[in-house]
Amino acid sequence: MDAKGAGYHPDMSFLAVLLALFVEQLRPLPHGNPVHEGLVAWVRWTGRNFDAGREHHAWVVWVVSVAVPCVIVWAVFALLFHFSVLLALAWNLVVLYLTLGFRQFSHYFTDIREALERGDEEAARGLLQQWRHLDASELPRNEVLRHVIEHALLASHRHVFGVFFWFVLGSALGLGPTGAVLYRMAEFCARYWSYKSHVLGAPTNLGLMQRSQAAFAWVDHVPARLTAAGFAVVGNFEEAVDCWRNHAGLWKQRNDGVLLAAAAGAVGVALGGAPAPEMQPDHGRSFQAGGMSADPQAEGSTPGAAPQLGHLRSVVGLVWRAVVLWMLLLALLSLANLLG
């Protein structure tokens, strides 16, 4: 059944996101959870069974890897909605709990900040190396801070804002939480194939890695700009827009550049700079902390003060204000729908 045609209520989106954020703060999803391990096994299986090394096979692998979970999630939503709106809301909450939330990445950020606050730069470098799989042993303090700020901003977008925007879009189309799954699966696949190639050094179809990253760049195109716009509104608007227009090109990944440049201007911190250190092998079972690739900065940085410890708190405040902004807008849309 088409949920939209059956009287779908857009205010379900607001309630689902609000409840998911609340529950995730109280009981964060543990690391190495069965869902994450299952997704790793799923993406590994699709690559092993559908990738024969040719260029067109890369798209087949990506489509199967992403589309099958999306179809399953939509089918469950449609079935539950057929019986009860409350059951559909509960399914939205479950899916959002698994795909959206700060606590899925924030422990590294918090631990690094605490290490720097007590002056333990060696511990901070070690944590950064675990988080980003980078050789951080020779990084000076301000470079540690820069990498932490940049990756925290990107992680907050990919774990919160990007999921939020695609979930709202999918809900508006009557697809329930399918949009959230589409975004996270696209990001997951891009991160997995990059991790396998760059960090583990395992044989990887180069076309698969490139296609998965290109697909995620397309999926993330609008959400990245909406997140950047939110940072501009809740931060220093003029500086954020100026950095967005003039300095987004410092990053090879355009979506990352837009997001980081706007955030840099909104907070008044200099981001970008020398290319990141090489990624280091990781023999652990999980790539939870791995990035899509080595940090893509070119030479040069945005205007602003050199990264300081106080900027970490400023970035946290910026992200939370942006969350409040988008939640208020979603609440207003839901209220308008109820009154209409």
Residues belonging to the chain: 340
pLDDT class of 285 with cuts at 50, 70, 90: very low
Position 2 scores a pLDDT of 47
Retrieve residue 72's tokens.
């399953």
DSSP-based three-state secondary structure for 269: strand
Alpha-carbon gap, residue 98 to 23, rounded angstroms? 11
The residue ranges of every structural domain in the chain are: 11-339
Average pLDDT along the chain: 85
| Dihedral sign for Cα atoms in the order 282, 105, 115, 121 | positive
Quick check: 281 pLDDT over 70? no
What average pLDDT does range 95-105 have in this prediction?
A: 89
pLDDT class of 7 with cuts at 50, 70, 90: very low
Q: What percent of the chain has pLDDT over 90?
A: 57
Quick check: 94 pLDDT over 90? yes
Q: Per residue in 126-144, pLDDT tens?
A: 999 888 877 787 888 989 9
Which of 203-217, 241-255, 292-306 is predicted least confidently? 292-306
Retrieve residue 275's tokens.
């290319």
Quick check: 57 pLDDT over 80? no
**How many CA atoms lie less than 13 Å away from 135 in the CB half-sphere?**
7
The DSSP code for 267 is H
What average pLDDT does range 265-272 have in this prediction?
A: 94
- For helices 309-339 and 221-234, give the axis angle rounded to 10 degrees: 110
pLDDT class of 286 with cuts at 50, 70, 90: very low
The DSSP code for 200 is S
The DSSP code for 196 is I
Q: Which residue has the higher pLDDT, 291 or 313?
A: 313
Quick check: 167 pLDDT over 90? yes
Position 226 scores a pLDDT of 97
Position 277 scores a pLDDT of 62
Quick check: 291 pLDDT over 60? no
DSSP-based three-state secondary structure for 251: strand
Helix (H) or strand (E) holding 214: helix 206-219
**How many CA atoms lie less than 13 Å away from 55 in the CB half-sphere?**
0
Q: Per residue in 198-244, pLDDT tens?
A: 444 444 667 788 889 999 999 999 999 999 999 999 999 999 999 99
Which of 81-85, 280-284, 327-331, 333-337 is predicted least confidently? 280-284
**pTM of the entire structure?**
0.88
Greatest mean pLDDT range, 50-59, 205-214, 268-277 = 205-214
Q: What percent of the chain has pLDDT over 70?
A: 84
Contact 150, 260 (CB under 8 A): yes
Alpha-carbon gap, residue 56 to 216, rounded angstroms? 17
Closest Cα partner for 266 from 296, 309, 227, 308? 227
Residue 87, strand partner residues: none
